[in-house]
Chain A
Amino acid sequence: MTEGEGVVETGRMRRPEPDAPRRYQDVPAIRATGLHKSYPDVDAVRGVDLTVEQGETFGLLGPNGAGKSTIIAMLCTLAVPTAGRIEVAGHDARTAPGRVRRSLGIVFQESTLDGELTAAENLRFHADLYALPRAGLAARIEAMLDLAGLAARRDHLVRTFSGGMRRRLEIARGLLHRPRVLFLDEPTIGLDPQARDRLWAHLREVRERETTTLFLTTHYLDEAERCDRVAIVDEGRIVARGAPAELKSALAADRIDLRTGDDVAAAAALRERFGIEAVAGPRGLRVQAENGASLVPRLCSGLDVPVHEVTVTRPSLDEVFLHHTGRHIRDEPGGGH
């Protein structure tokens, strides 16, 4: 139990002591040491140490089956570690799971909203489950609906919502009880590129308005780059960790594949006008570039030869992963976009 605990404990207080947040800052948002999780047929997590500081955005990267979900399940007290210790905002997950749960907001990979309830009702349900004080609750719900950009849809059934709206509502719900840490498991999975960008803009706003630590998992490197720190998981262990810039040094750039009317002329033009070395392959030209998508319009207008087809492939976790483990990620789901 930490010092700051007294604020929660006394329960009836309307407002935390002014210096409470400062005292909280001494405690990491998450501290996990020596985490192991064994199932009868598999060791899912094999010795993971993690420290996530208050207020930072932390990314957990790894292929499916790497143990990400198991780690998250243990951090959320949904699974009991075979060995190891977890503290969330200073609360031990084993001895005070209730406190840990109150300190966490969770946005699961799959939707966990009730489609037959309205947006406001879903939030109200959450408030009652977490026994949030009734005073100021209505205002808090409206504020969260507003944050999600769903104030106008508050009384619409959630089953009529798009994927992006659902995800924003889930984030709003995860934040409703002012958690110390907001978990986001693959927050942009299943969203189209525009919805993903909107979601990230939204997460930036969330970080500004709510003083919450974000802990997220992802497949995508560009998403990992938006984190303050990143850890890469493979086979139940952390194989690399650090700021994205550190990991980025090991990254490949975007890959652009071009099909043109005259590959030889196009390659020459690329070399002269853009200073880019293209590699000719059986299906056309392949080019590496830092920001492929923004280069494409310039490429198309700068080339004299007709361009039939352009494909931009974002650098995947695969390449970093390859760098750190010498292997490719097995069956990356939804890979390639």
Chain B
Amino acid sequence: MAGGAAPSTAYGCGLAAELRAARMVWQREMLHFLRDRIGTLVSLLQSLMSLFILGVGMGGLFAGSGVGSASDYLTFLFPGVLVLAAQPATVAVGASIVWDREDGFLREMLVAPVHRATLLIGRCLGGMTVATCQGLVILAGAGLLHIPYRPGIFGLLTAELALTSLTLTVLATTIAVFVRRPRTLTAVLGVLMAPLLFLSGTMFPISALPGWLSLLSRLDPLTYAVDAMRRTVGVDRLVHGRAMLTAPVTWGGLRPAPPVELAVVAAFTMIALVVAARRFSRLG
């Protein structure tokens, strides 16, 4: 027997072992994130660009049409930019399953004596953490958009951002476990993420959409996440122009309260996670 005080054949088992494995998978995502400084910087720049270029450009257009001020639009856009900031990391972590398969590392995890769902959950929580960190950088600049620095608002926004990040990671992961080839996955994710973001009211109010599209946007979980964040920010109070920007998401005449909206997002996430875990369990 090699190596000093040998730990013998005693193994931890049950829940503690699963938690430890999940934590390690999570930690691995953190290490990747911390080591990929350029990648982090680039996606940060990307979200800053979308805030300023999109925000200023669209804000100007918005102001020019006489509906409200450019700063109204920026305030409106802010929660959407948080999601935009988080989105690349979620997709990257979700898609990394396919890369791990290419590298072979996935097999190291697949033959391990832990539940496959554990591996998946650890990874999704990793994606959530990374994406939330990216979003937090943008969130820190909220004051520039006259959003008051109140701990309640920021705590709630962070939680909502985390939930949204988790949803996006789970979604990307679900797609990734069904697709084998990285190139196919990139294409599929690209095609899927664009409508998901555009229809969610990230960049313009969904009340601007025609009936059938606004119906689709009501099927988009991000719609509820973004709307809940907007109400947390207090768009109703901060935006003084006409009501279009502050028009809420409605089901018929019904206006779901933010907790209900977040519950919808959470339920969607759970369903996607179960689908992904079932598929992942069958991978050989």
Partners in one complex: yes
Q: Which residues of A contact B (CB under 8 A)?
A: 7-8, 10-16, 20, 73, 76-79, 97-99, 101-102, 104, 106, 108, 110-117, 121, 124-126, 128-133, 135-137, 139-140, 142-144, 146-147, 173, 177-178, 209-211
Distance (whole angstroms) from the CB of B43 to the closest CB of chain A: 17
Q: Does B41 contact A (CB under 8 A)?
A: no
Cross-chain contact B9 with A129 (CB below 8 angstroms)? no
Q: List 11 A-B contacts (CB under 8 A).
A: A7-B10, A8-B11, A10-B10, A15-B8, A73-B284, A106-B111, A112-B103, A112-B107, A121-B31, A131-B16, A133-B12
Number of cross-chain contacts by CB at 8 Å: 137
Closest chain-B Cβ to A102's Cβ sits at a distance in Å of: 5
Given A14-B10, A16-B9, A111-B104 in contact, is the A116-B4 Cβ separation under 8 Å? no
**Judging by beta carbons under 8 Å apart, are B11 and A114 in contact?**
no
A101 CA to B17 CA, complexed, in Å = 14
The interface residues of chain B lying within 8 Å CB-to-CB of A137 are 7
A161 to chain B, nearest CB (A): 14
Measured CB to CB, the nearest residue on chain A to B22 is A128
Check A13/B35 contact, CB under 8 A, given A114-B105, A129-B112, A147-B2: no
- A10, A101, A140, A173: which contacts B113 (Cβ < 8 A)? A101
Question: Chain A: which residue is nearest B21 at the CB level?
Answer: A129
Bound state CA distance, A204 and B35, in angstroms? Answer: 37
Whether B105 lies near A113 (C-beta < 8 A) is yes
> Whole-angstrom distance from the CB of A211 to the nearest CB of chain B?
7
Within the complex, which residue of A116, A128, A147, A177 is in contact with B31, where a contact is CB–CB below 8 Å? Answer: A116
B204 to chain A, nearest CB (A): 39
Residue interface bits B29-46, CB-to-A below 8 A is 1, else 0: 001100110000000000
Asked whether, in the complex, the Cβ of B109 is within 8 Å of the Cβ of A16, the reply is no
B113: which A residues are within 8 A, CB to CB?
97-99, 101-102, 129-131
| Alpha-carbon distance A142/B7, docked complex (angstroms) | 13
Asked whether A116 and B35 contact (CB < 8 A) given A108-B104, A133-B8, A133-B11, the answer is yes
Q: Which residues from chain B contact A132 at a C-beta distance below 8 Å?
A: 7, 11-12
Give A128 Cβ to nearest chain B Cβ, in Å: 4
- Assess whether B114 is interfacial by the CB under 8 Å rule: yes
Residues of B within 8 A of A8 (CB): 9-11
Contact B24 A128 (CB under 8 A): yes
Give the residues from 97 to 115 in chain B that come closer than 8 angstroms, CB to CB, to chain A.
Answer: 103-114
Contacts of B2 in A (CB 8 A): 143-144, 147, 209-210
User: Which of A73, A125, A147, A209 counts the most B-chain CB atoms under 10 A from its CB?
Assistant: A125
Note all chain A residues with C-beta closer than 8 A to B13.
11, 131
Question: Is B6 in the interface zone, CB < 8 Å from A?
Answer: yes
Set of chain B residues within 8 Å of A73, measured between Cβ atoms:
284
Identify which of B8, B103, B109 contacts A129 (C-beta below 8 A): B109
A16–B28 alpha-carbon span in the complex (Å): 32
Could you tell me the distance in whole angstroms from the C-beta of B24 to the nearest C-beta in chain A?
A: 4
- Shortest CB–CB separation between residue B26 and chain A, in angstroms? 10
Q: Which of A11, A117, A142, A146 contacts B28 (CB 8 A)?
A: A117
Number of interface residues of B (CB under 8 A): 37
Using Cβ atoms and an 8 Å threshold, which residues of chain B touch A144?
Answer: 2-3
Residues on B lying within 8 angstroms of A by beta carbon are 1-13, 16-17, 20-21, 23-24, 28, 31-32, 35-36, 103-114, 284
Shortest A244–chain B CB gap in Å is: 27
Identify which of A12, A20, A98, A126 gathers the most chain B CB atoms within 10 Å of its CB: A98
A26 vs B7: C-alpha distance when bound (angstroms): 24
A79 to B107, CA, bound (A): 12
Q: Is the CB of A143 within 8 A of B105?
A: no
- Set of chain A residues within 8 Å of B3, measured between Cβ atoms: 139-140, 142-144, 146
CB distance from B135 to the nearest CB of A (A): 23
Known: A112-B107, A136-B5, A139-B3. 20 other contacts (CB 8 A): A8-B10, A12-B10, A13-B10, A15-B10, A78-B111, A79-B284, A101-B113, A108-B107, A111-B104, A113-B105, A124-B24, A129-B108, A132-B7, A132-B11, A136-B4, A136-B6, A137-B7, A140-B6, A147-B2, A209-B1
Enumerate chain B residues within 8 angstroms of A128, measured Cβ to Cβ: 20-21, 23-24
Chain B positions within 8 Å of A14 at CB level: 7-8, 10
8 A-B pairs with the lowest CB-CB distances in the bound complex, closest first: A143-B3, A128-B24, A131-B17, A129-B112, A101-B113, A131-B12, A136-B7, A112-B104
Shortest C-beta distance, B172 to chain A (Å), equals 19
CB-defined contacts of B32 to chain A, threshold 8 Å: 116
